[in-house]
Structure 1
Amino acid sequence: MTLPPLPPQPVPLCVIVLVIVAASTDIATRRIPNRILAIGLVAALCVQVWLHGPLNGGIEWLAGAAFGFALLLPFYLLRGMAAGDVKLMLTVGAWVGPAMTFRIALATFLIGGVWSLALVVSRGRVRQLIANLQQTAGSWRSVPSRASDSGVALPASVGAIPYGVAIAAGTLGVLFAATV
């Protein structure tokens, strides 16, 4: 699988700053502020329009944002990640477009999955993880909008990671790989 070409400057530099700031705040506060994401989205739109013109830039911005959103939304709906993580991938997608967003999401899933698995193993919570996965798989057809709607208690978490860090690592890895 070949990587899409690196987007023109200032896109890589801006995305690097965005994901480092988001990951830093996610580590420190366990949230990614909407203000950071809103500034990132507006700046991405301005840069995309500047680089590609109003129509093509707007389409590239929207397609990347929608793709980033769609890739992580199912995990949010299954309560596997927070809304800030989904919005961060949406914002990264707005900067880099759908093709690179897909590669970034794959790298992010790999990094986040390995990190989460290492956390579960180090805490001795593998049995709880398996039970949680069985419960989730058993109820995948009817995901309630709220836990109280179904009368079924959500499984106890086996540990959470600041997923903004995984998104940052995946983004940096893909951007670096595209330069070589």
Structure 2
Amino acid sequence: MGERNASADAIVAAACRLLAELGSHDKLSLSAVAEAARVSRPTLYRWFATREDLLVAIAAHQEKRFYEGLAEALDTETTPAGRLDAALRYLVTYLDETFGVASPLIEPGMTVRSLTVSLPKQTATWVRLLGDAIARVPAVRAGELSVEQAAEIFLRLAYSHYLIPSPAPEVLLQCMRSMAGLRVKSPA
């Protein structure tokens, strides 16, 4: 069982690195992934019979990485405001670090589909991890938005930064902090 996981994990990790280099799922071949993972093609096909199987595994890997990173960002924060600020900072940086600036421009249809599928689960996770912090957002306190709606808005704002990259991500973060009712420091 351990060998299976190690092989599959090595293949997915290699595929993620290769995808970052290629910039497009269309250019990703199973042969190139096998070479990058330093496994034989039969080993790769044993775990990922098709390219689509591998793409599903890559998406699951990236999703897991997102949730682990969010949990890590929140781990040291003890106040609701600190947790919300940490989550906002994480959102602003995660997509750029994971996919790079050009990725949504290369495959916009796949990008939008992926984000659409991810949004409900990410919203639910944000509500679960940050519900008390999001409840302090001024529009939520005023009864204008639910906690779920506010969480979704923050995620959609981060998605917009990914889809239409901002030359100044710190400005986006400052705007999100302001919307959250957090103290906003002037950009340096």
Q: Mark yes or no: TM-score above 0.5.
A: no
Is the radius of gyration larger for structure 1 or structure 2?
2
TM normalised by structure 1 equals 0.30
TM normalised by structure 2 equals 0.29
Higher relative contact order, chain-length normalized (CA < 8 Å, sep 6+): 1
